[in-house]
Amino acid sequence: MLEALDIGKSFGEVSALNNVSLQLKSHKVHALLGENGAGKSTLVKCLMGYYRPDSGQILFNQKEVVIDSPQRASHLGLGMVYQHFTLIPNMTIAENIVLSRPNLPLIIDWQKEIESLQTKMTNMPFQIDLHRPVRELAVGEKQKVEITKQLLLDTKLLILDEPTSVLTPTEADEVLGKIHQLARNQQLTVLMITHKFREVMQYADQVTVLRKGRFVATATVSEVNPQILSDMMVGGESLSKPPTRTLQSARIIKLRTENLTVHNDQDFAVIKNMDLEVAQGEIVGIAGVSGNGQKQLVEALAGQRPPHMGTIFAHDKKFCADLNTITRHKFFCLPEEPLKNACVGTLSVAENLVLRKFNRPPFSRWGMLRRGVIRRNAEALIQQYRVRTSGPEQPIAALSGGNVQRVVLARELAQEVSILVVANPCFGLDFKAVADIRAQLLAARNQGAAILLISEDLDEILELSDRFYVISAGQLVYQTTPAQADMNTIGQYMAGH
Ligand SMILES: Nc1ncnc2c1ncn2[C@@H]1O[C@H](COP(=O)(O)OP(=O)(O)OP(=O)(O)O)[C@@H](O)[C@H]1O
Ligand SMILES: [Mg+2]
């Protein structure tokens, strides 16, 4: 159906793609694998007309085509769900979907459009309330909307950039199962970028591996296994080993909420009377399906959303998240969608790495920024956290998704941490980076940090937490430890039963 031949693409000094070729067969699911920064997103953006390749050819049904804009791609029946969300927050889901239709009439008959969406909705993998504004949705929900949008727009070749990173395993199976089925029924061809071998093995027919901007191999999935795939991806480099857990001598509560109630933008209580404690040297997990208040809880703890009622205590003092208090308490936070919530996209990697401390020595003196110190700080962290970038001066928005995540983690974990709030810290990271980050979090715990880990990835919660809660409809409905966890019970609480 589609063939890319010898595609090359550079951004200034960075060569993102080097003679990469890819062949997509009709009605198959094709997986694209590679480390963070390998060039996966760049390749699919070239196919979508979002970037113009510097060299190479694209053939569509064996004829050469020039895809010079996303409109052109969409006329060919190509549609994509991007790694960063593209929905307009202040519009409802229905408005977002209607407005992304190509050939939209000059005057929109909204009632007719919405009725037609509603009818088509019955065949969709997810049932979504079309009238909700997008800004209220958590990442997992947005992902479902993005996928549903493409299916509703009659896309024939669907490109998915890490579609399941924020879905629970059950949700992921539901989406991929449905997509796989559409391919089997000859209704859809799929190119899917993923970091999860399980998804490749279970749902893909073919797989292509990229490494550092170069083509490594294309294989038939039934002829490979995860070990072969990971060797192709990293060429035999070894993984970080997690440190063993050390025991804490005394239980000292570092982070506590009392009767915390947080409202969403519509003034609805989405966190309800929450009492929570995290002690020194403890990782407390909060598991749950996205959209159960996790987003607003993190915002409240990060000082981005004032609580409606109740109090947050850090080291037994009432906490309010201004820069000085944060610094004094060594209270750090990694929110979800870090590029949006924790970075300034147009600033450089080096500047983003000192966002919380540029005004203090050694980064500034007598009110002046010390560029050299800021740059050297960045160079050290880039190396330590293996960030793939053309250099400290590169704007952070130009980094690959996984590399943005690494920069933010490097910033938050680079100093002594006393309290750490992290939301989905491994979202979009390749398996090697996941091992790195998890090892870092455990090391911070062993050094006495109190860590609140909010994650939609149950495996991550089970691996990292000392004890964990399940959140449902804004309340902590269940508490257990990984050793005692019973998956059935947890599943039921997660589903709100
Ligand atoms: N607009 C851009 N400007 C400059 N450099 C870029 C731009 N887009 C990508 N790059 C660089 O190209 C390389 C490949 O990035 P790409 O986003 O394709 O990686 P990826 O395989 O999708 O990684 P990830 O798994 O982290 O999403 C990276 O080194 C990145 O910094
Ligand atoms: Mg990417």
Q: How many CA atoms lie within 13 A of 119 on its CB side?
A: 5
Q: What is the pLDDT of residue 162?
A: 85
**Secondary structure E strands in 148-242:** 157-161, 189-193, 206-211, 214-220
Q: What is the pLDDT of residue 270?
A: 95
Which residue is closest in CA terms to ligand 1's atom 31? 399
Q: What is the pLDDT of residues 350-369, one digit of tens each?
A: 999 999 888 889 999 998 99
Look at residue 114 and tell me whether its pLDDT is greater than 80: yes
b/e code 408-443 from CB counts within 10 Å (16+ = b): bbbbbbbeebbbbbbbbbbbbbbbbbbbbbbebbbe
CATH of the structural domain 244-330+416-497, one choice from 1.10.10.10, 3.40.50.720, 3.40.50.300, 3.20.20.10: 3.40.50.300
Which residue is closest in CA terms to ligand 1's atom 27? 401
Which residue is closest in CA terms to ligand 1's atom 8? 398
Test site for ligand 1: of 399, 405, 431, most ligand atoms within 8 A of the Cβ: 399
Q: Are 462 and 283 in contact (CB under 8 A)?
A: no
Angle between helices 401-413 and 431-446 (to 10 degrees): 10
Confidence of residue 193 (pLDDT cuts 50, 70, 90): very high
Q: What is the pLDDT of residue 291?
A: 82
End-to-end CA distance of the chain: 45
Q: What is the pLDDT of residue 420?
A: 95
Name the more confident of 123 and 417.
417
Q: What is the pLDDT of residue 458?
A: 86
Look at residue 450 and tell me whether its pLDDT is greater than 90: yes
Q: What is the pLDDT of residue 415?
A: 82
Q: Where in the chain is the domain with CATH 3.40.50.300?
A: 2-234, 244-330+416-497
Q: How far is CA 335 from CA 14, 172, 332, 475, in A?
A: 28, 22, 10, 20
In the reported structure, the alpha carbon of residue 200 is separated from the centroid of ligand 2 by a whole-number distance in angstroms of 16
Q: Judge if the upstream peptide bond of residue 89 is cis by omega within 30 degrees of 0.
A: no
Confidence of residue 464 (pLDDT cuts 50, 70, 90): very high
Q: Are 209 and 229 in contact (CB under 8 A)?
A: yes
Look at residue 448 and tell me whether its pLDDT is greater than 90: yes
Q: Average pLDDT for residues 463-471, to the nearest whole number? A: 96
Look at residue 13 and tell me whether its pLDDT is greater than 90: no
Which residue is closest in CA terms to ligand 1's atom 7? 398
Q: Residues with beta carbon inside 6 Å of ligand 1?
A: 11, 14, 16, 34, 36-42, 83, 388-389, 398-403, 430
Q: Name 459's Cβ contacts closer than 8 Å, sequence gap at least 6.
A: 169
Q: Average pLDDT for residues 370-381, to the nearest whole number? A: 96
CATH homologous superfamily for the domain 2-234: P-loop containing nucleotide triphosphate hydrolases (3.40.50.300)
Q: What is the pLDDT of residue 50?
A: 93
Nearest residue to 464 (alpha-carbon basis) of 491, 496, 434? 434
Q: What is the pLDDT of residue 21?
A: 97
- Sequence length of the chain is 497
Q: What is the pLDDT of residue 166?
A: 64
In the reported structure, the alpha carbon of residue 62 is separated from the centroid of ligand 2 by a whole-number distance in angstroms of 27
Ligand closest to 50 (CA) is 1
Look at residue 349 and tell me whether its pLDDT is greater than 90: yes
In the reported structure, the alpha carbon of residue 400 is separated from the centroid of ligand 1 by a whole-number distance in angstroms of 4
Q: Name 452's Cβ contacts closer than 8 Å, sequence gap at least 6.
A: 255, 276, 278, 284, 286, 301, 419, 420, 421, 422
Q: Average pLDDT for residues 131-157, to the nearest whole number? A: 86
Q: Give the distance between the most distant pair of CA atoms in the chain.
A: 70
Q: Name the pTM for this structure.
A: 0.76
In the reported structure, the alpha carbon of residue 44 is separated from the centroid of ligand 2 by a whole-number distance in angstroms of 9
Which residue is closest in CA terms to ligand 1's atom 17? 400
Confidence of residue 491 (pLDDT cuts 50, 70, 90): confident
Look at residue 238 and tell me whether its pLDDT is greater than 80: no
Q: DSSP for 12-48?
A: TTEEEEEEEEEEE-TT-EEEEE--TTSSHHHHHHHHT
Share of the chain above pLDDT 90, in %: 60
Name the more confident of 313 and 431.
313
Q: What is the pLDDT of residue 269?
A: 95
In the reported structure, the alpha carbon of residue 232 is separated from the centroid of ligand 1 by a whole-number distance in angstroms of 19
Lowest pLDDT segment from 280-289, 311-320, 423-432: 423-432
